[in-house]
Amino acid sequence: MGGCRKFMNEPTLEFLLIGDSVENANGKLYLMGGGWMQFNSNQFPVAARLGIAVSILVPSKLATERKQLPIHIICSNANMTLQLEANVEIDSPLAESLLDLRRIFVTLNMNLPIQSPGKYEIKARLDNGEEKMVHFEAILRSAQLN
């Protein structure tokens, strides 16, 4: 039960996913074209359709506190950083729960400017320093054909 104690004291990042599109509706996460690790294009620069989904587990006793969730989009090959910050307000009604937790989904759909092929990293970080990250690679499609 050592891992569960953390959940009772502070918010915890459960997961970070990327896909073609994400949506949060009625407490459910909908992910289209998720889990990819490569983005292929015939040309660069290009605007890539990208959905980012973050799940945060929050103790019920903190359900009315404001929490910061910065989401970082980092391009490692061009030394360019696009940083987005979302202020997540957790205001779910208190209800009986076996785990005494609330799951909060943060979803973002965007057209990410990708300047050139290379490795990209997406991070989500809470104000307590906890973070999750995923990676993908942008590939010039014509370079794959041999």
Q: Would you say residue 81 has pLDDT above 60?
A: yes
Work out the average pLDDT over 104-119.
90
Q: Does residue 7 or residue 16 have the better pLDDT?
A: 16
d(CA 79, CA 88): 28
Q: What is the pLDDT of residue 77?
A: 56
pTM summary value: 0.82
d(CA 122, CA 82): 10
For the record, the structure tokens of 29 come out as 């996460």
Q: What percent of the chain clears pLDDT 70, i.e. is strictly above it?
A: 71
Q: What is the pLDDT of residue 139?
A: 95
In the chain, how many domains are there?
1
Q: Which domain holds residue 66?
A: 2-144
Q: What is the pLDDT of residue 83?
A: 77
Return the CATH number at 128.
2.60.40.2550
